[in-house]
Chain A
Amino acid sequence: MDYVFQFGVVWRDFPALLLGAWLTVRLSALAMGLGLIVGVATALAAASRWRALRALARVYVEAIRNTPFLVQVLFVYLGLPSIGLRLRPDQAALLAMVINLGAYATEIVRAGIKAVPAGQLEAGTALGLSSWQLFRHVVWLPALRAIFPALGSQFILIMLASSVVSVISAEELTAVADTLVARHFRSFEVYLVVTGMYLVMCLAFQAAFAAIHRTLFARWRAV
């Protein structure tokens, strides 16, 4: 092999990559927050007494979970302008991520609600709690504790998947990497360093979520 690796150009532009990493984290966090809201709303719809609403929630979840994220991104960015919804790349990326996360969050939230023991729900009902009071005093805390690890993994999954939005040139880590590749023609070196950055981000968030889970829920174990 007569190829000489040159990482020098990558280190020179490392600040740009760090900015890209920050943009990836910010985009993922924003998508996670909004996606969670969509997920809770859809989980409530899926538990609704109206059949049509239940069916709609199911169609949404199944449609998203059985199609590739890349196709969803392209549909939002290239397809939606045909019906008058023209979005900038970063807006399209965020919308696609929220739609995608919403479906997965629905399943997580549903599992969390199911994790609350039936006996506790019956006890709450026997005390004459309304369904809102039941949710507020009986359901949400144990449910949140049950789903916290799954939500953490889902955040990491969307953070890794978000590299795909570089195809529509939304600004994040992979898109910055693409720019550097186009400038220096050092594709292997750039992508190797960026892969390492994703790995570090993934491990750091895993450790952080585990620490949060330990400290936050340790006191509530007796609940």
Chain B
Amino acid sequence: MIREFTVNELWLLILAARWTVLLSAIAFVGGGAGGFILAIARVSPRGPVASLAAAFIKIVQGTPLLMQLYLVYFGASLLRLTSDAWTAAALALTLYASAFLGEIWRGCIQAVPREQWEAARALALGYPSQLSSVILPQAARIALPPTVGFLVQLLKGTSLASIIGFTELTRAAAVVNNATFRPLIVYAIVAALYFILCWPLSLLSSHLERRLEQAGSRTVAFQF
């Protein structure tokens, strides 16, 4: 039996968007923690630690997110850990976000001028305090725009969780489409909902980037 596409169906889609937001939030928080550890490991003076982190990042960035979701989903059920799509999606997206944020933040840490490290050493700070009181505060400022930009990528990436059966926005679209058979309007609305979530973040990211560029050019002018 085919249902009409009514306000109820629209409401169903809007409600499903909260699972997209929640999944993104979990992956962002988990990925933030993982990415922080990876970034620190990447700039670490210990060779093996740095190469291990680099290898992990290379593998995640060099393979499709869909494959990562499949491997975590099927791998977790083989290990009898869980066969729950929700957990698998959260775990896979956390690993994905860790690798990308780790690489973004490594770039930001390395963008801090070398003299800052030397100055911190000259003040007889140990490595942990060099990092935490001199380098990271400066890196954090540079890191803000690309981090917000990555959040957009992550939000869009959560749509793949629908393929392993987690009911978020894209999966809800398939459900509503199967009941109403109005694919054009259903997918247009779903695209619009993603757009409403992502566009403000994109605007914020480019705004922050412009502001940082202006601040940066002032610093350069000041040096001479």
Which of the listed residues B64, B160, B190, B199 has the most CB atoms from chain A within 10 Å of its own CB? B64
A69 CA / B199 CA spacing, docked (Å): 15
Residue numbers in B under 8 Å from A156 (CB-CB): 62
A67 CA / B173 CA spacing, docked (Å): 14
Residue numbers in A under 8 Å from B191 (CB-CB): 63, 67, 71-72, 75
Chain B binding site: helix, strand, loop or mixed by DSSP? helix
Residue numbers in B under 8 Å from A111 (CB-CB): none
In order of increasing CB-CB distance, the 3 nearest A-B pairs are A68-B159, A66-B198, A202-B62
Specify the chain B residue showing the minimal Cβ separation from A82.
Answer: B184
Contacting residues of chain B (103-146) with chain A, CB-CB under 8 angstroms: none
Could you mark each residue 90-115 of chain A with 1 if its beta carbon is under 8 Å from any beta carbon of chain B, else 0?
A: 00000000000000000000000000
Docked-complex contact B188 and A79, CB < 8 angstroms: yes
Count, chain A residues at interface, CB 8 A: 38
Could you mark each residue 24-53 of chain B with 1 if its beta carbon is under 8 Å from any beta carbon of chain A, else 0?
A: 000000000000000000000000000000
Docked-complex contact A75 and B64, CB < 8 angstroms: no
Closest-CB distance, B137 to chain A (whole angstroms): 30
A213 touches B (CB below 8 Å): no
A80 touches B (CB below 8 Å): yes
B1 touches A (CB below 8 Å): no
Could you mark each residue 162-193 of chain B with 1 if its beta carbon is under 8 Å from any beta carbon of chain A, else 0?
A: 11000000100110010000111011101100
Residue numbers in B under 8 Å from A81 (CB-CB): 183
A179 touches B (CB below 8 Å): no
Name 9 extra pairs, CB < 8 A, besides A70-B159, A79-B188, A82-B184. Answer: A66-B198, A68-B156, A74-B173, A74-B174, A74-B183, A80-B184, A191-B67, A199-B59, A199-B62
Docked-complex contact B62 and A167, CB < 8 angstroms: no
Docked-complex contact B63 and A160, CB < 8 angstroms: yes
Could you mark each residue 8-19 of chain A with 1 if its beta carbon is under 8 Å from any beta carbon of chain B, else 0?
A: 000000000000
A164 CA / B161 CA spacing, docked (Å): 11
Could you mark each residue 143-159 of chain A with 1 if its beta carbon is under 8 Å from any beta carbon of chain B, else 0?
A: 00000000000001000
A174 touches B (CB below 8 Å): yes
Specify the chain B residue showing the minimal Cβ separation from A72.
Answer: B191
Count, chain B residues at interface, CB 8 A: 40
Which B residues lie at the A interface, using CB under 8 A? 58-59, 62-68, 70-71, 74-75, 78-80, 152, 156-157, 159-160, 162-163, 170, 173-174, 177, 182-184, 186-188, 190-191, 194-195, 198-199, 202
Docked-complex contact A191 and B70, CB < 8 angstroms: yes
Residue numbers in A under 8 Å from B62 (CB-CB): 156, 160, 198-199, 202-203
Could you mark each residue 165-199 of chain A with 1 if its beta carbon is under 8 Å from any beta carbon of chain B, else 0?
A: 01100000010000000000001100110110011
Closest-CB distance, A179 to chain B (whole angstroms): 14
A66 CA / B196 CA spacing, docked (Å): 8
Docked-complex contact A66 and B188, CB < 8 angstroms: no
Closest-CB distance, A217 to chain B (whole angstroms): 23
Docked-complex contact B160 and A70, CB < 8 angstroms: yes
Contact of B64 among A67, A79, A198 (CB under 8 A): A198
Docked-complex contact B70 and A187, CB < 8 angstroms: yes
Q: A68-B157, A160-B64 are in contact. Are A195 and B71 (CB under 8 A)?
A: yes
Docked-complex contact B67 and A195, CB < 8 angstroms: yes
Contact of B183 among A82, A161, A167, A174 (CB under 8 A): A82
Which of the listed residues A74, A75, A192, A198 has the most CB atoms from chain B within 10 Å of its own CB? A74
Closest-CB distance, B92 to chain A (whole angstroms): 12
